[in-house]
Structure 1
Amino acid sequence: MTRAAVALIYRRTDNSGTQLLFIQRARREGDPWSGDMAFPGGRMQPEDASPRATAERETLEETGLDLGRHGRFRARLSDLITRHHSRWRPMVVTPYLYEWKGPKAVTLNHEVEHLVWVPLDFLAAEENQGRRPWRTPLGTLNMPCCRYQDYCIWGLSYSMVQELLAQGLP
């Protein structure tokens, strides 16, 4: 079974708030998740010692944030089962939570269009929850989401945020 891992990264603000990092995936022809909001991460490679190592490697590649040096590992969230967009085989995605203690500078690679820090209070507020239509071969589903500025957080990322909030993390 294919494995993947992502990093949920938060930071404290000067006014005692907390922000959660999202990336907006680069827009690419043929990518069904093109332009979507996500957490940095990706598929596990043979050289990765663990799914957590995958999350750290992918975060460094996609954003330049070095979790090994400036991140404080806080928790492992529940595995989620999905599928890779080009295959029908299941894929397990493991989310890891980190507190960011490093510099604000980022270096985005070709897979990332934008990096956005979203206030955790905003993500938790009921008035910011909504629905996003998602067309499937079986019809249109109205998926739960959170809209922040011009961004829409939905799908696996939304599920991970909901678990984070339900557990009272960070």
Structure 2
Amino acid sequence: MNFFRHRRLVLVGPPVLALLITAVGCSSADDTVSAAVPSPGAKVSELCKGLDKALPSKVDGQDRRDPTPASALTAGWGNPAIILRCGVERPAKMSDPEADGVEVNGVGWLLEKQGDGSFRFTTTLRKAYVEVTIPKSRTGDGMAPLVDLAKSVGKAIPAGIAD
């Protein structure tokens, strides 16, 4: 009989624990966002560091709020955050002849709609791949974030084929 009572506590325990963790996470005043930092080679890293210095302080009217961990290869604006990652791997979707693409102020972008309703854009025909993720709640602004970023990307990341 003790076995069943113990077993019930184990089965009830994880949902209660998950609820507690969620409640604690939601009540936190810390609203920082995290982003995986790419790990490109030295040449691309240098290009990305140059891009970081050239990035605007505002994108789509939102102030810059970089994600954690801090890196010259990532940047963010607003809350929910528009996230830029420089030096990402070439997306497999670039090999798809049916893939959607756009050009914004001379910078080409591969467009990928994500399962959560967000959009991910990755530069095309540049010496480094730059990825910009626009959260679902900010997609109503259309290409505004890319308009704000195109000048910096065009200046810091030369046209060409990434290694």
TM-score range, shorter chain: under 0.3
Bigger share in helix: 2
Bigger share in strand: 1
Higher radius of gyration, 1 or 2: 2
Q: If the length of structure 1 is used for normalisation, what is the TM-score?
A: 0.25
Where relative contact order (Cα < 8 A, 6+ residues apart) is larger, the structure is 1
Q: If the length of structure 2 is used for normalisation, what is the TM-score?
A: 0.25
